[in-house]
Structure 1
Amino acid sequence: MKLVWSPETASRAFIDTIKSCHNFKEFGVAELLSAMAAGWNAKLIVHACSAAASSTVTTVGLAVAARHSGGRYVCAVADERSKSEYVKALQEAGVSPPTEIVVGEAETAMAAVVGVDFLVVDCKRRDFARVLRFAKVNDEGAILICKNTWSRSFEKLGYCGLLPKGTRVVRSVSLPVGQGLSIIHVGSSNGAGAISTSKPSRWMKHVDERSGEEHVYRKRI
C-alpha cells in the first residue's frame, strides 16, 4: 500500500485518542502516534512493545488509529511472561488487549507480520535493534517509530546501522516527546528516486541544531 497522507483522518484519530486517554496522566505520544498511523492510512500497524505499563497508552492510541484507517493492529511481545505482564497492565487500566498478540523474539515475531505500514518499537525492549532489522515492511514504503529513545542513547547508536541493508530512508526526525521519539520514513523498495550506486558513495547525516530535524543523504566519493 502506498502511503498517502490524510489530514482529516489524522485529526479525527487525534481527537478520539485524547478522549479515550482522558483517564491517563500521559499526554503527547499516544495522540501523535495515533494521528500519524491513521493519517497515513496504515493498513498494518505493529507495536513491538515492552512489558512496561507505559505501553498501555500507546496501545490505546494505535487501536484508535486502526479503527480510523480500517487496518489491522498487531502487538508483538518477546515471550509469554511479557505477554502476561502486558495484558495484566492493560486490564488494570481498563483497556481491552489487542485481538492479535504475536509472541516471540524479534526474528520470529517480525516474520509473522509481513507488509508493515506503521511500526512502533519501544526501545526499552532489549531486542529493539533486532526488531528493526527483521521488520518486514511494505514494499511501497513505511513509517518506523522508535519511542523511549533516550533510554538507549539512540542518537549515538545511529539508526542507519540498525536498519536492514539497502533500506532507503526518505526522511527522519527526532522529537523531544515523551522519553524521546525518532520517526523514520522508509521509501519504496523499487528504487524509485534512489541515487545511482555506479560510483562509490557513503551515507551522511546532518542534524538541524534549531529544529532537531535529522536529514540523511548519500554522498558520492
Structure 2
Amino acid sequence: MKLVWSPETASKAYIDTVKSCEVHQESSVAELISAMAAGWNAKLILETWSQGGILATSIGLAIASRHTDGRHVCIVPDELSRSQYEEAVGEAGISPEIIIGEAEEVMEGLVGIDFMVVDSRQRDFAGVLRVAKLSSRGAVLVCKNATSRNESSFRWRSVVDDGSRRLVRSVFLPVGKGLDIAHVATSGGSSSNSGKGESRWIKHVDRQSGEEYVIRK
C-alpha cells in the first residue's frame, strides 16, 4: 500500500478549514495543510506545538482528521504549554490528543505517522523528523515557518534518507512564513511515480497576498 491522493476529501477539508479559521492568523497555511492531510487520507496526524504558537494549524489538522477518521496528536514540551494549548483548542471546539514531553522521546510511542507538521523555529525540529516512525504507506512531512528556521543548512535528504525511507519529492511554498514539504516513501510501501493517473494538482490562493500556487502531487 502507499499514500493515495483524494481530491474530493481534500476539497471538503479545505472548505471546512476556511470557515473555521477566518479570524485566525496564518489561516492560509492552515487551509493548505488541512487539505493536504485530508487528501492523503492520513490516519495518524502529528504536530508539535509550544507556548505562544499559532493555533490555526491545529484547527486545520483537527478538521482533516475528522474527514479521514484519523487520530490527531499534538506534542507539547511542558505542562504550561499543555494548559495553554488545551484552553485554546477547547475554545476553538476541537480536542486533539495532547502528549507532554520532549518530541524526540515521545516519538518512540507513535508508530505509523502519515502526516506530520513541525515548527521550524523549534530548536529540535530536524531531530524530531529524523526519529519519526512513519507509516508503511509513506508520509508527508511539513516544516512551517521555514523562512525563519535556525538551521539554514537543513536538507530533507539529511533527515529522511536512511535506508528505511527515501525522499520522493519536496517543495517549498511561500505561504505564510514558508512551508517546506516532503513526500517520503518507506521500505514498507511503493514509492514509484511512474503509474498513470497518480499525479494530482492542488490550487491554493493565499487570501492575504492574493497569490495563487499550484502544487503537483
Partner of 2:186: 188
Distance 1:97 1:81 in 2: 19
Aligned pair 1:157/2:157, yes or no? no
1:77-156 alignment runs, 5 A limit: 77-91=76-90, 94-96=91-93, 98-152=95-149, 156=153
Q: Deviations over 1:110-165 (max 9, x none)?
A: 11211000011111222111110110100221100111111115563222223362
Distance 1:87 1:164 in 2: 35
Quick one: which amino acid aligns to residue 52 of structure 2? A
5+ residue gaps, structure 1: 195-210, 214-221
Task: Pick the structure with greater CA Rg.
Answer: 1
Residue 30 of structure 2 aligns to a residue whose secondary structure is helix
Runs of 4+ in 1 over 6 A off after TM superposition: none
Partner of 2:5: 5
Mapped contact 1:53–1:90 kept (Cα < 8 A)? no
| Higher RCO, 1 vs 2 (CA within 8 Å, ≥6 residues apart) | 2
Partner of 1:207: none
Partner of 1:67: 66
Quick one: which amino acid aligns to residue 41 of structure 2? N
Q: 1:98 to 1:131 in 2, by over 3 A?
A: farther
Query: How far did 1:21 drift?
Result: 1.0
Q: 1:152 to 1:4 in 2, by over 3 A?
A: same
Quick one: which amino acid aligns to residue 177 of structure 1? V
The alignment covers a number of residue pairs equal to 193
Query: How far did 1:25 drift?
Result: 4.1
Q: Percent identity?
A: 53
TM-score, normalising length: structure 1: 0.79
Mapped contact 1:14–1:34 kept (Cα < 8 A)? yes
Distance 1:41 1:113 in 2: 18
Quick one: which amino acid aligns to residue 185 of structure 2? G
Distance 1:87 1:191 in 2: 35
Q: 1:59 to 1:193 in 2, by over 3 A?
A: closer
Partner of 2:56: 57
CA RMSD across the alignment: 2.2
Mapped contact 2:140–2:184 kept (Cα < 8 A)? yes
